[in-house]
Amino acid sequence: MRNMLKKFMSVLLMLLFMTTIISGCAAEKTPEEGAGGPIEEEPFSGEEEENPSESEEGETAEESEEAEPEKVVLSLEGPGNLMCNLLQDGTAVYEDGIIYHSDKMMFGNLMRTDVKTDETELLVKGTLHDINVGDGRIFAVGDVDPLNPDDFGTSGIFMFKPDGSEVTLLKEGYFEELVLYDEYLYFYDVMDGNFLCMKYDGTEETLLLEGAYPQIVILKDQLYLHASLDGDDSMSYLYKMALTGGEPVKVDPVSTFGGTIHVAGSDIIYIGRSNDTQGMKKYDTETGQITDFLDTWISDIVYDEDFIYYFWSGVRMDNEDQGIYRSRPDGSEATLLKKTEFASSFNIADKYLFYITNDEKRRVTRLDLETLNESFVPLAEELLP
């Protein structure tokens, strides 16, 4: 359900953007400065001038090349965020005492909060999500606002410095499920569902699968996809394939039910479709074994080293058992942390659980897992002078 909603929201934003252009605001769109600085497209490409050896200013081509910013060389290893977070909009990630996060449900302005001081600041204005970090750079997908509100924003996959500066457009377009793993970014195109990967600097783009629209998980150098690849969009399966592509292989011949999967450690958790679909299954990516997980349905699963956190709708008529739970990874020792009728899009970062409710301002709620104190993440407009 969440994956379908994300695709719908992305297409809706794209249609609104196109409608604005058709209605008469069709000024030629050029990359604009984001809140943190000018948007730079990478890799650079363009037509040569008629006299490539000398510009109008009298600069030689050699001097112009020397004036260009140095190409970023990063040393990246492993994932750019927890897979459980990226399966749920990727709105928060912890790195070196800082939490990078969105200020609104599903997507929003890019913020950062210092864990020690609890001070929050705006980095980039836009509608960003699927936040990944690595080697002093932030990667995200969505829209970046222009400095001039009358201009159009830019949609695509972006790279930023930790302070929000050097906003670099790696690939323009509408994309979902951005996952950074080692030196490569994995994602799919909202327009055609094509599953792609490219290097962190926007080069070496490779088509992995056509029309897949997958949920993407990468664990220990193995790629897992939750997708409909058999020609029947109503039937999704869990697949595995090499990071470099190839033929996807079903890990479970039984299709999934419920529209989404979850990750807890090395396990992928899902609902298997059957005649008596009552509970959830667990696929151990290390052993390849599939076992029963729980005899009930839970959602929005995230994990840390010792526990999983999730939402359970409960079974009591008075809803007194409905809310946010913590349990051991095997589902034992389940404890109700917060009673609530609705909570979704869980992300975990440091000691905090981020999630959304039915807040009319689309604010993100932050729960301190040590004190169980609850608060709203500040909105960007609340921080601006």
Backbone angles phi, psi at 134, to 5 degrees: 180, 130
The per-residue pLDDT for 1 is 45
pLDDT at residue 325 greater than cutoff 90: yes
**Which DSSP letter does residue 87 get?**
T
CA dihedral 129, 380, 325, 289 (to 10 degrees): 10
Spatial CA neighbour of 292 closest among 312, 314, 272, 315: 272
The per-residue pLDDT for 278 is 73
Q: Can you tell me the mean pLDDT for 94-104?
A: 98
Question: What percentage of the chain has pLDDT greater than the value 70?
Answer: 81
The per-residue pLDDT for 63 is 42
- Distance in angstroms (rounded) separating the CA atoms of residues 72 and 315: 53
pLDDT at residue 50 greater than cutoff 50: no
Q: Can you tell me the mean pLDDT for 11-33?
A: 42
Q: Can you tell me the mean pLDDT for 325-341?
A: 97
Spatial CA neighbour of 376 closest among 123, 152, 31, 101: 101
- Give tens-digit pLDDT for 61-70: 444 344 455 6
Question: What percentage of the chain has pLDDT greater than the value 90?
Answer: 75
Tell me which of 149 and 205 has the higher pLDDT.
205
pTM over the 0.75 mark: yes
Neighbours of 32 (CB within 10 A): 17
CA dihedral 271, 101, 202, 200 (to 10 degrees): -80
- Order the strands of the 299-303 sheet from edge to edge: 299-303, 308-312, 323-327, 335-339
- Give tens-digit pLDDT for 344-361: 999 999 999 999 999 999
Tell me which of 27 and 263 has the higher pLDDT.
263
Mean confidence (pLDDT) of the chain? 86
The per-residue pLDDT for 297 is 94
Query: In this structure, is the dihedral angle defined by the CA atoms of residues 313, 314, 315 and 321, taken in order, positive or negative?
Result: negative
- Give tens-digit pLDDT for 109-134: 999 999 999 999 999 999 999 999 99
The per-residue pLDDT for 38 is 52
Domain boundaries, the chain: 1-23+30-42+74-219
In sequence order, the β-bridge partners of residue 196 are 187, 207
The per-residue pLDDT for 46 is 39
The per-residue pLDDT for 149 is 80
The per-residue pLDDT for 71 is 80
86 Cβ contact list (under 8 Å, min separation 6):
130, 132, 177, 178, 179, 216
- Give tens-digit pLDDT for 265-293: 999 999 998 756 678 999 999 999 999 99
Q: Is 79 exposed, middle or buried (0-12, 13-18, 19+ CB in 10 A)?
A: buried
- Distance in angstroms (rounded) separating the CA atoms of residues 20 and 255: 41
- Band of pLDDT at residue 258, cut at 50, 70 and 90: confident
- Give the containing element (helix H, strand E) for 259: strand 256-264
Least reliable range by pLDDT among 57-66, 183-192, 211-220, 348-357 = 57-66
